[in-house]
């Protein structure tokens, strides 16, 4: 399924002005190839940069480590803006590095500005860090805390003035901000996404055997006294951190810049493994790790291609199912077609799948057929909760098929989504019409 | 600072630590939890009769909820119960003292790692009042007692780490072994962690990476490190009675319930397994995922988000949950990173850094083979070691500041840090004393029993039977604990209680107490009956029944937790 995954909203925003020139499918693939070229160009710049900083071999290994990451595959397949950001930052750092003096300052300022701009202009959402910048959240947290303590039957008496020292909006502001920063130090999301304990929705950045190469990489970095490289890695971590706190998207997109510095550390370890001077024991361990690493990469791509809906956003799947079904049934056979707008910009997908959406015929709005009157020659596409009524706990009646049929609706096609993307409305998606 | 004043300052930090651990122990946490009640009641039972609640004479493992708890905590609690009676304070005193004693050994370690005494004292103040230290010392956790013995054992093991066999004195070996054995008698985890720790130190596996020739490495191990196995041999001899006196399969009951092997099989995503035999599935082989799980479980303790912020569902709502934190203060997570990098940087040069690393890995191993990704209680032994890494981080930061910043900037940096840490400590104390009551007042610290049991006790003599209806599987223990129920009577019922190996609801009927569901339409016809229920009660129905009265018992957050209904 990997290559046939439906487009994201970002991709549609870019290709929609060109529907008159080429078919939407071709446009999508042109965009994907362009995104891939941006990634390749970024990696080429990265290779050149590392080549100058250390040596060819480490540069090459670092590039390979980044390239084989499943995140990179998903990036060029689905997230063109991220690829552009990747490219622009690579260009900027390359340029800044060519300046002999104050290259660190230039790199930091430039990259941070780029990241800020991209987070503002490429998405209407804002990161949770930005939301926490307001003092009002801190104030309401303080009030909640005082409220909870006031409810105690027999509290421990603590001087109010002492309590106020830490129960105040400024301390809570600090607490809230640092709690936005700490998730950057999340080894699970960076290295253990394959078996993440919270099964959080993200893509594998690094596979788990790479954590050992990373940790040894830190050792080799200092042992070999790569001073400038060490500064450069610190700089890249800072840029990654900046990207993390300002990026409003899924964890793998927030963490994407961390691919750069960690890949260098991993490359440093692998580079040691290639040295002739190492002993038999070290060589054996290196070979074993390398085999596990190769196996892990294969396994992860196998997983990504076989369980794409587990790893990626399920919203495009909803539209893919709905509009392909509508297309099969024939738009002309209906006087009205209502498609749920619960999960995003429906009209954009309509234009992508059906070339041109007749706005008189299509209604992009959520519906509740338990309250609305069914119309003849009208097609309804949405979640099960829109057909039988929502449930605030998202527990749909197991008898929902009969309930829908009982309401004089003929179910044309049903699909089930892995994730709940429209809470209260269930995971089944349905296309139906009045019987 | 003069040596004497410095010493007094350290002692006062420890005393303040002790005060904060014991202050208002009866009020917060708001009531004892299941395990505290079980430990307390068994200690009370041993004090009164020499036998546990099942009638076993001076047991080394307490059968309790068929989980065979290590018994040392209960034995150490006996003097406090004898002096203060069976209550929340007497059962928690051992943990509070253990937590305080642990500070002494933490200081010893800091003294060895941080030479600058002002920096050391700064770090010691911060670490002595970490959220986990305060929380785990205020609850009767066997793990906390175990962790204190473990850090003491680790300190002497560290101190004598470079013994030569011929020079070694048996008393020193014995001291290390006894402290580690006491740790193992206090909590299960140490039974795995100690052997691993000593073996890691003896073999020093990282040396394999640093040493090019295998023969040189083996020679080095035999000449320099094999002595470390002597305390291990003594340790094994000392803990052997645990396995000899109780069936070893029963001692492993808890492990059988919680192990990783059964719960996650086939480890790989089920949808990707295409063959009948999961092990033959080459595309997503279980071995790859299993190795990932084990390494992930161990390395999760190095992940700052886990130690500082992330609350897993098995922690939330359990007694180990510290609202607002995971284990450490927030800023410590960043300092920890500095420490970890510095530790890795010097891992070859400084063997004491390897000592800390082996401590963490060995201490995390028992938790790593259980199904939970990160489980502080099962790995409590390692938190002092993680604190040492934080201390190394401070040291690294200090060195960086000293070499790169002006004196004024340095003062501003450490002044600012001092303010932030001081505020965090105040927040931690307020949080632990009051806010945690509202957050933790759930299933594991059930409100109502503490408040209502004395009311029930004052009434029950006038009734023929007492019906107890509680959503909690082992609610009988709260009745025994809060009524200081005569253990001789309980022991008489040992034969009818759920057999070893049985999990789930372990309530049993004894004396005039019957554990069953509240069913007013039926029970309103009973006479001379008291009913204790937390189910939904229709007050009007009861008031309208002749001879029936109702008393409400509030829990710690002013909610109606339980109703005591009397029916004449």
As a three-state string, the secondary structure of B470-484 is: CCCCCCHHHHHHHHC
**Model confidence over A332-367: pLDDT tens digits?**
888 889 999 898 888 889 999 988 788 888 889 998
pTM: 0.92
* Range among A86-100, B60-74, B513-527 with highest mean pLDDT value: B60-74
Residue A73: which pLDDT band, with cuts at 50, 70 and 90? very high
CB B495 within 8 A of CB B527: no
State the Cα angle at A214 between A212 and A219, rounded to 5°: 95
Phi, psi of B277 (to 5 degrees): -95, 110
Q: Which of A53, A412, A43, A101 lies closest to A260, judged by CA?
A: A43
- Considering only alpha carbons, which residue of chain B is nearest residue A167? B427
Q: Do A166 and B430 touch (CB under 8 A)?
A: yes
**Model confidence over A218-265: pLDDT tens digits?**
999 998 888 889 999 999 999 999 999 999 989 999 999 999 999 999
Which helix (H) or strand (E) segment holds residue B548: the answer is strand B548-554
Q: Which of B530, B536, B528 lies closest to B562, judged by CA?
A: B536
Q: How far apart are CA B414 and CA B126, in angstroms?
A: 13
Q: Does B305 touch chain A (CB under 8 A)?
A: yes
**Torsion over CA of A158, A160, A161 and A164, rounded to 10 degrees?**
100
Interval B464-488 mean pLDDT: 90
Q: How far apart are CA B6 and CA B514, in angstroms?
A: 60
**Which DSSP symbol is given to A151?**
T
Bridge partners, A411 (sequence order) = A432
For residue A319, what are the CA distances in angstroms to A2, A8, A378, A415, A417? 17, 10, 18, 11, 12
Secondary-structure percent of chain B, ordered helix, strand, coil, rounded to 5:
65, 5, 30
Q: Do A296 and B424 touch (CB under 8 A)?
A: no
DSSP string of A369-383, one letter each residue: TTTSPP-TTEEEEEE
Q: Does A285 touch chain B (CB under 8 A)?
A: yes
ipTM given for this complex: 0.91
The pLDDT, as a whole number, for residue A3 is 79
Which residues from B are below 8 Å from A154, CB to CB?
27, 556
CB B92 within 8 A of CB B208: no
Q: Do B288 and A215 touch (CB under 8 A)?
A: no
- Considering only alpha carbons, which residue of chain B is nearest residue A182? B305
The pLDDT, as a whole number, for residue B213 is 79
Residue A179: which pLDDT band, with cuts at 50, 70 and 90? very high
- How far away is chain A from the Cα of B63, in angstroms, using its nearest Cα? 32
Q: Do B345 and A280 touch (CB under 8 A)?
A: no
pLDDT score of B168 more than 70? no
Q: Tokens standing for A176?
A: 């809230």
Q: Do A298 and B284 touch (CB under 8 A)?
A: no
Q: Do A194 and B289 touch (CB under 8 A)?
A: yes
Interval A104-110 mean pLDDT: 80
CB B43 within 8 A of CB B54: no
Q: Does B330 touch chain A (CB under 8 A)?
A: yes
Instruction: Give B338: exposed, middle or buried? Use CB within 10 Å, 0-12, 13-18, 19+.
Output: buried
Residue B119: which pLDDT band, with cuts at 50, 70 and 90? very high
Q: Which of A177, A185, A237 to mutate to test the interface with B (most CBs of B within 10 A)?
A: A185
Q: Do A148 and B435 touch (CB under 8 A)?
A: yes
How many other CB atoms are there within 10 angstroms of residue A140's CB atom? 12
Q: Which of A432, A323, A325 lies closest to A387, judged by CA?
A: A432
Q: Do A155 and B374 touch (CB under 8 A)?
A: no
pLDDT score of B304 more than 90? yes
Q: How far apart are CA B56 and CA B68, in angstroms?
A: 12
Q: Which among B28, B308, B330 is the nearest to A156, CB-wise? A: B28
Residue A119: which pLDDT band, with cuts at 50, 70 and 90? confident
**Average confidence score pLDDT of chain B:** 90
The pLDDT, as a whole number, for residue A77 is 94
Of A162-176, A269-283, B298-312, B472-486, which range is least confident?
A269-283
For residue B413, what are the CA distances in angstroms to A286, B401, B402, B419? 42, 8, 11, 10
Q: How far apart are CA A95 and CA A105, in angstroms?
A: 12
For residue B146, what are the CA distances in angstroms to B15, B81, B379? 21, 20, 10
Interval A368-375 mean pLDDT: 85
Residue B186: which pLDDT band, with cuts at 50, 70 and 90? very high
Q: Tokens standing for B109?
A: 């370690």
How many other CB atoms are there within 10 angstroms of residue A323's CB atom? 24
Q: Where are the domains of chain A?
A: 2-130+180-311, 315-434
Side-chain half-sphere exposure of B458, counting CA atoms within 13 A: 6
Q: Do B345 and A218 touch (CB under 8 A)?
A: yes
Q: Which of A405, A363, A364 lies closest to A384, judged by CA?
A: A405
Cis peptide before B256 (omega within 30 of 0): no
Pairing between β-strand A362-364 and β-strand A336-339 as defined by DSSP bridges: parallel
The pLDDT, as a whole number, for residue B526 is 84
Residue with the two structure tokens 């991220």: A82
How many other CB atoms are there within 10 angstroms of residue A399's CB atom? 10
What is the length of chain B?
568
Which residues from A are below 8 Å from B296, CB to CB?
188, 192, 195, 197, 208
CB A197 within 8 A of CB B373: yes
DSSP string of B39-58, one letter each residue: HHHHHHHHHHHSB-TT--BS
Q: Which among B288, B299, B304 is the nearest to A211, CB-wise? A: B299
Q: Tokens standing for B235?
A: 């340790």
**Model confidence over B33-58: pLDDT tens digits?**
999 999 999 999 999 999 999 999 99
pLDDT score of B216 more than 70? yes
**Which DSSP symbol is given to B434?**
I
- Considering only alpha carbons, which residue of chain B is nearest residue A216? B344
Q: Which of B437, B442, B450, B555 to mutate to test the interface with A (most CBs of A within 10 A)?
A: B437
CB B140 within 8 A of CB B92: yes
Q: How far apart are CA A199 and CA A180, in angstroms?
A: 20
DSSP string of A198-239, one letter each residue: T--S---SS-TTHHHHHHHHHHHHHHTT-HHHHHHHHHHHHH
**Model confidence over B307-356: pLDDT tens digits?**
999 999 989 878 899 998 989 999 999 999 999 999 999 998 898 999 99
Q: Tokens standing for B367?
A: 């938790």
Is pLDDT larger for residue B216 or for residue B347? B347
The answer for B 372-391 residues in CB contact with A (under 8 A) is 373-374
The answer for B 412-441 residues in CB contact with A (under 8 A) is 420, 423-424, 426-427, 429-430, 433-435, 437-439
- Considering only alpha carbons, which residue of chain A is nearest residue B345? A219
Q: Give the neighbor-by-neighbor strand order of the sheet with B529-533.
A: B513-515, B465-469, B529-533, B560-567, B548-554
CB pairs under 8 A between A and B: 164
Cβ neighbors of A286 (< 8 A, separation 6 or more) are A270, A272, A273, A278
**Which DSSP symbol is given to A7?**
P
- Considering only alpha carbons, which residue of chain A is nearest residue B424? A166
């Amino acid at each position: 399924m990997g290559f046939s995954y439906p487009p994201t909203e970002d991709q549609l925003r870019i290709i929609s002005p060109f529907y008159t020139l080429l078919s939407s499918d071709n446009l999508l693939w042109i965009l994907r190839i362009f995104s891939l070229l941006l990634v390749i160009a970024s990696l080429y710049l990265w290779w050149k940069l590392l080549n100058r900083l250390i040596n060819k071999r480490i540069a090459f290994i670092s590039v390979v480590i980044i390239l084989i990451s499943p995140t990179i595959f998903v990036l060029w397949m689905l997230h063109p803006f991220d690829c552009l950001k990747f490219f622009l930052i690579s260009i900027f750092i390359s340029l800044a590095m060519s300046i002999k003096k104050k290259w660190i300052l230039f790199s930091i300022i430039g990259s941070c500005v780029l990241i800020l701009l991209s987070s503002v202009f490429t998405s209407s959402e804002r990161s949770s860090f930005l939301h926490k910048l307001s003092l009002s959240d801190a104030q309401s947290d303080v009030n909640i805390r005082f409220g909870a303590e006031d409810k105690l039957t027999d509290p421990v008496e603590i001087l109010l003035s002492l309590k106020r020292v830490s129960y105040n909006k400024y301390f809570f502001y600090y607490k809230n901000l640092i709690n936005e920063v700490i998730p950057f130090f999340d080894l699970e999301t960076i290295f253990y996404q394959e078996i993440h304990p919270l099964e959080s929705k993200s893509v594998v950045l690094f596979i788990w055997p790479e954590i050992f190469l990373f940790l040894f990489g830190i050792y080799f970095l200092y042992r070999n006294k790569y001073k400038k490289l060490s500064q450069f890695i610190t700089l890249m971590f800072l840029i990654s951190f900046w990207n993390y706190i300002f990026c409003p998207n899924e964890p793998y997109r927030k963490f994407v810049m961390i691919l750069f510095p960690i890949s260098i550390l991993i490359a440093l370890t692998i580079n040691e493994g290639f040295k002739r001077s190492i002993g038999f024991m070290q060589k054996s361990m290196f070979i074993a790790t390398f085999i596990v690493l190769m196996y892990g990469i294969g396994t992860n791509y196998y997983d990504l291609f076989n369980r794409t809906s587990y790893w990626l956003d399920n919203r495009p799947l909803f539209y893919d199912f709905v509009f392909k079904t509508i297309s099969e049934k024939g738009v002309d056979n209906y006087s009205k077609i209502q498609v749920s707008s619960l999960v995003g910009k429906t009209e954009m997908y309509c234009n992508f799948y059906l070339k041109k959406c007749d706005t008189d015929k299509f209604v992009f709005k959520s519906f509740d057929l338990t309250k609305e009157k069914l119309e003849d020659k009208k097609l309804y596409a949405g979640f099960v909760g829109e057909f039988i009524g929502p449930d605030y706990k998202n527990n749909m009646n197991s008898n929902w098929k009969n309930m829908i049929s009982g309401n004089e609706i003929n179910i044309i096609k049903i699909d089930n989504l892995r994730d709940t993307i429209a809470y209260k409305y269930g995971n089944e998606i349905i296309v139906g019409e009045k019987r | 600072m003069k040596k004497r004043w410095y010493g007094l300052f350290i002692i006062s930090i420890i005393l303040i630590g002790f005060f904060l651990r014991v202050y208002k122990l009866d009020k917060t946490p708001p009531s004892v939890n299941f395990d505290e009640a079980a430990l307390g009641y068994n200690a009370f039972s041993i004090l009164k009769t020499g036998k546990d609640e099942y009638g076993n004479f001076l047991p080394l493992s307490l059968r309790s909820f068929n989980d065979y708890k290590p018994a040392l905590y209960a034995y150490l609690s006996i003097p406090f119960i004898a002096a203060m009676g069976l209550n929340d304070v007497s059962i928690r005193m051992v943990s509070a003292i253990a937590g305080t004693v642990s500070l002494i050994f933490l200081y010893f370690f800091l003294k060895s790692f941080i030479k600058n005494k002002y920096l050391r004292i700064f770090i010691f103040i911060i670490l002595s009042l970490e959220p986990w230290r305060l929380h785990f010392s205020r609850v009767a956790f066997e793990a906390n007692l175990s962790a204190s013995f473990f850090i003491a054992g680790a300190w002497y093991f560290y101190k004598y780490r470079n013994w030569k066999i011929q020079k070694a004195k048996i008393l020193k070996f014995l001291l290390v072994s006894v402290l580690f054995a006491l740790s193992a008698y206090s909590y299960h985890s140490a039974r795995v962690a100690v052997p691993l720790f000593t073996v890691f130190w003896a073999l020093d596996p990282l040396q394999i990476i640093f040493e090019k020739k295998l023969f040189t490495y083996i020679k080095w191990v035999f000449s320099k490190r094999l002595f470390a196995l002597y305390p291990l041999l003594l340790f094994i001899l000392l803990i052997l009675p645990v396995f000899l006196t109780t069936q070893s399969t029963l001692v492993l009951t808890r492990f059988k319930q919680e192990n990783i092997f059964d719960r996650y099989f086939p480890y790989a995503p089920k949808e990707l397994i295409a063959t009948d035999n999961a092990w033959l599935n080459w595309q997503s082989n279980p071995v790859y995922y299993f190795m990932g799980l084990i390494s992930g479980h161990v390395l999760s303790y190095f992940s700052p988000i886990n130690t500082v912020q992330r609350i897993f569902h098995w922690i939330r709502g359990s007694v180990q949950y510290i609202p607002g934190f995971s284990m450490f203060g927030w800023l410590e997570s960043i300092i920890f990173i500095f420490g970890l990098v510095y530790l890795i940087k010097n891992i070859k040069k400084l063997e004491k850094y390897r000592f800390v690393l082996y401590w963490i890995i060995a201490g995390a191993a028992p938790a790593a083979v259980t199904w939970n990704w990160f489980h502080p209680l099962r790995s409590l032994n390692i938190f002092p070691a993680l604190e040492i890494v934080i201390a190394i981080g401070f040291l690294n930061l200090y060195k960086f500041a000293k070499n790169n910043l002006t004196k004024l900037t340095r003062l501003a940096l450490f002044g600012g840090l001092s303010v932030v840490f001081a505020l965090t400590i105040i927040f931690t104390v307020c949080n632990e004393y009051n806010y945690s009551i509202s957050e933790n007042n759930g299933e594991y610290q059930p409100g109502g029993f503490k408040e209502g049991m004395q009311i029930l006790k004052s009434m029950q003599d006038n009734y023929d039977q007492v019906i107890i209806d509680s959503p909690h599987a082992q609610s009988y223990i709260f009745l025994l604990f809060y009524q200081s129920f005569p253990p001789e009577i309980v022991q008489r019922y040992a034969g009818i209680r759920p057999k070893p190996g049985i999990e789930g609801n372990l309530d049993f009927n004894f004396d005039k107490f019957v554990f069953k569901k509240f069913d007013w339409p039926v029970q309103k016809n009973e006479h001379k009956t008291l009913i204790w229920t937390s189910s939904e009660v229709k007050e009007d129905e009861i008031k309208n029944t002749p001879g029936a009265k109702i008393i409400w018992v509030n829990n710690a957050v002013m909610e109606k937790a339980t109703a005591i209904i009397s029916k004449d």
